[in-house]
Chain A
């Protein structure tokens, strides 16, 4: 049983999704990482520490990685026949998973919560319909089975040898399909505690109105020593950077307190926060789905309730 794990580098680090997947997969047998990025020693060491005996390393330079990485993976997988290839839910992970799936003519199951390849068939567990229904799917048609995991489906824990064998992979020629290039990278700085590690998360949705009025979320988070989170709609609207997105295609958080302000509770958002210990929601629509998961729901205007809460917290000193 051999599992390959797709990994991409952010700021010299291996991504968390790869380390989570390695932690799970090393119990099943051999694990190999396929790492895309400049290739820092730190990233290789982290992959090794989480169970990768071997790391294939592809540096795509300024190419958008999807088609190039998928072509290189398809060639390698053709030669070495892994049983399973796991991806994270990040943007590049999805680009590569989709491309590889089409290239190999093999389906890919996305947003998976668990994988069990130890029986006679590979079983993949998903939650659908806003996390209300659990579905187990068998993948038929042979190896490799492609699965894209939901963030935090497993927790990453290091174990053992930290110096994997690193094998450089040549950049394949993908012609026009692989010709998209990154001309310039822009960093939008974010402040405050790390969203995934924070004990308190104050999150805002479209209900805040606009980017300026979203500012009260940061103010409240600051008073509570918490992190700022946001829905996909808010990130897409450009009010806050993608790094703050909570939900299926963003981050999964499990803080002690999650305070949802002006968030209706689309199923894609709920799956990223519903396992928080205490959920408090403020929304003017009494029928908003967010109230279905809230321990305390306040039906009211966020622009009345949150400033009053901020004032009360300030008064406590």
Chain B
């Protein structure tokens, strides 16, 4: 079985993000990390491949390649190879352009199953997987908290407002996974060493036959007045009394 997992390299979320004052694009450092929410997709992809046997797991990503550190993190977990679409004309891409690019890259792979996170940590539009499924004419089983493969069918538990639904579809299909679906493995030393030799194909928009267009333009960027930060105290055994006093002051007790 051919499994493709969509992954994204993002600037380290712990470091402050900056916008380029002229282009309003996020400044992307050379060192980027694997979006933490993608580790779950990679893990479930690897497990399904291990269970099915005779399977491959291919990573597909659209990102400024940089030093590919984030992609190598996912390869170190055990994925077989990666396809990275890197093209300067994709700077400022919106969700639909991203999905269009990923769909073109995925079509060449002819996957049976496409796995993605529910939303990226930095962009968090949360619609790329659904756009991708539409472009690939696949069913999209979204917000999975559990996944099983059953012959030619995939079955998930889908998070809902009330609880969860059991949802099933025949392959080929796309699914999005929440971070409760499975506990991601940590790369082993051998995995990290192997990842350095695993193939990464870097392709451009012209390789994929895409002319990037984006139907939106930023008109203004302004800082939001910050909420005034209050008092921070170290708990010396009486931290709870400070909370109690404030609850009394605002009259909720």
Contact = CB atoms under 8 A, between A and B. Distances in A.
Given A280-B243, A297-B232, A243 B162 contact: yes
B79 to A, nearest CB: 22
Contact of A10 (B145, B161, B180, B231): B161
Q: How large is the interface on A (under 10, 10 to 19, 20 to 34, 35 or more residues)?
A: 35 or more
Interface string B158-170: 1111111111111
Interface in A68-120: 70, 89-91, 94-95, 97-99, 101-103, 105-111
B233 interface: yes
A218 to B, nearest CB: 17
A107 to B, nearest CB: 5
Contacts of B129: 98
Contact of B124 (A11, A111, A306, A316): A111
Contacts of B97: 107
A155 interface: no
A179 B170 contact: yes
Nearest to B135: A102
B218 A66 contact: no
Interface in B127-173: 127-135, 137-143, 145, 155, 157-170, 173
A305 B235 contact: yes
Interface stretch (A41-49, A53-61, A233-241): A233-241
A309 interface: yes
B125 A110 contact: yes
Residue in B17, B126, B131 whose Cβ sees the most chain A Cβ within 10 Å: B126
Interface string B219-239: 111111011011111110001
Contacts of B247: 224, 257, 280
A98 B127 contact: yes
Contacts of B19: 129, 133
Nearest to B230: A295
Contacts of A304: 235
A298 B167 contact: no
B163 to A, nearest CB: 4
A287 to B, nearest CB: 9
A138 B219 contact: yes
Given A129-B17, A182-B165, A277-B250, A312 B241 contact: yes
A224 B163 contact: no
B235 A301 contact: yes
B162 A10 contact: yes
Interface in B149-201: 155, 157-170, 173, 178-181
Interface residues of B, number: 83
B237 to A, nearest CB: 8
Nearest to A123: B219
A274 B163 CA distance: 26
A192 B247 CA distance: 20
A242 B119 CA distance: 16
Interface stretch (B59-67, B70-78, B209-217): B209-217
Contacts of A141: 215
Interface string A255-285: 0110100000010100000100111101000
Interface stretch (A25-33, A161-169, A183-191): A183-191
B230 A257 contact: no
Interface string A170-182: 0000011111111
Interface of A: 10-11, 64, 66-67, 70, 89-91, 94-95, 97-99, 101-103, 105-111, 123, 127, 129, 131-141, 148, 175-188, 199-200, 224, 232-233, 235-238, 241-243, 248-249, 256-257, 259, 266, 268, 274, 277-280, 282, 286, 291-301, 304-306, 308-309, 312-313, 316
Interface of B: 13, 17, 19, 24, 94-97, 99, 118-119, 121, 124-135, 137-143, 145, 155, 157-170, 173, 178-181, 214-224, 226-227, 229-235, 239-244, 246-247, 250, 252-253
